[in-house]
Amino acid sequence: MEKRRFAQDALSEWMRNEGPDSEIVISSRIRVARNLKHQPFPMLATNQQSREVMEQLTAVAKHDKLQDLGSFESFDLSELNELEKKVLVEKHLISPNLANDSRGGAVVLSATESISIMINEEDHLRIQCLYPGFQIREAWATAGRIDDLFEQEVDYAFDERKGYLTSCPTNVGTGIRASVMMHLPALVLTQQINRILSAITQVGLAVRGLYGEGSEAVGNLFQISNQITLGQSEEEIIDNLHSVARQIIEHEKAARERLLAESRVRVEDRVRRSYGILSHASIMDSKEAAQRLSDVRLGIDLELIQNLSPQVMNELMVLTQPGFLQQVFDERLNAEQRDIRRAELIRRYLSPKT
């Protein structure tokens, strides 16, 4: 995989495929946090120690057993410019934390970009697996396989009573964060979302925005993930998230049916207005773009809009982020210039093809 490819292609290869319930679940993700036994955690490590960890873990990533999962390429973050790192964040291939602190930081990416192995983030090792649609168990199977491979080659920081030791106490135990990114416009429009989200938090799950902890839920996109990592097994964590996510999917489907049955004209009007504005606007900020794209995506899923694929909406959700806009137009842009270019890019994608 060339650096040019990950920086220019908005959609990772895995995002081009549709998974189960992909009209509601955009993606399923597993992230596993691990640290090495005889090295200080990243926040306490010297530059030299961080480099040693990076060299050790990138060497393991070249193991033949990992290559069975596909081809991989490693990137030293110190060799990437700020825009390239921003693009990686917008594609969810690295965390903002890793992008902002590249002392010995690296990422190992699979060719499909469905597997991202972050080195010297908050922890020495962050294994991330992304699958399209509702495939949280499949994502865990792959992440667990990679975790086992690393554990055969390096000594993890592990306590018999507490489990895997991590920089943040909230990750101690299994070190697993399982999450599903869900598009829930009908629950928002029918004003059920607050009740649903309140119920989610009472069963040990967290609700976050597009970029995880501390981010706002824009475009009706909600990331549902486990909060508890200590005192539960990996299977219990996955099963709990799977069960709750399945219920949310059914609630969203029911809400969509209700909208069509009781408010079809209003929903169709909302969808077409958003499509019209996206097709003709001259300036648009990221928040409005996310909401309008959400409306159109709902219209596609409800078959109120024809001849437009969900993949186009997925691509625009990524392309309209600040880093990608500057990458696409190959120029540094201030906030107003980004809003103008964002509208231009959306018009280009939605204009009739001749």
Annotated binding residue 131: no
Annotated binding residue 284: no
Cβ neighbours of residue 79 closer than 8 Å, sequence gap 6 or more: none
- Contact between 107 and 344 under an 8 Å Cβ cutoff? The reply is no
Tell me, what amino acid is at 221? L
Annotated binding residue 61: no
First to last CA, the chain: 33
Residue 346, phi-psi category: left (phi > 0), alpha (psi -120 to 50), beta (remainder): alpha
Annotated binding residue 29: yes
Query: Exposure of 192 by Cβ count < 10 A (0-12 exposed, 13-18 middle, 19+ buried)?
Result: middle
Annotated binding residue 208: yes
Annotated binding residue 275: no
Annotated binding residue 277: no
Total number of residues shown for the chain = 354
Annotated binding residue 211: yes
DSSP states of 259-298: HHHHHHHHHHHHHHHHHHHHHH-S---HHHHHHHHHHHHH
Q: Give the H/E segment covering residue 253.
A: helix 234-280
Annotated binding residue 325: no
Annotated binding residue 209: yes
Annotated binding residue 210: yes
Annotated binding residue 177: yes
Tell me, what amino acid is at 43? M
Annotated binding residue 73: no
Annotated binding residue 179: yes
- For residue 83, the tally of other CB atoms under 10 A from its CB is 16
Output the known binding site for ATP.
27-31, 92, 126, 177-181, 208-213
What residues form the annotated binding site? 27-31, 92, 126, 177-181, 208-213
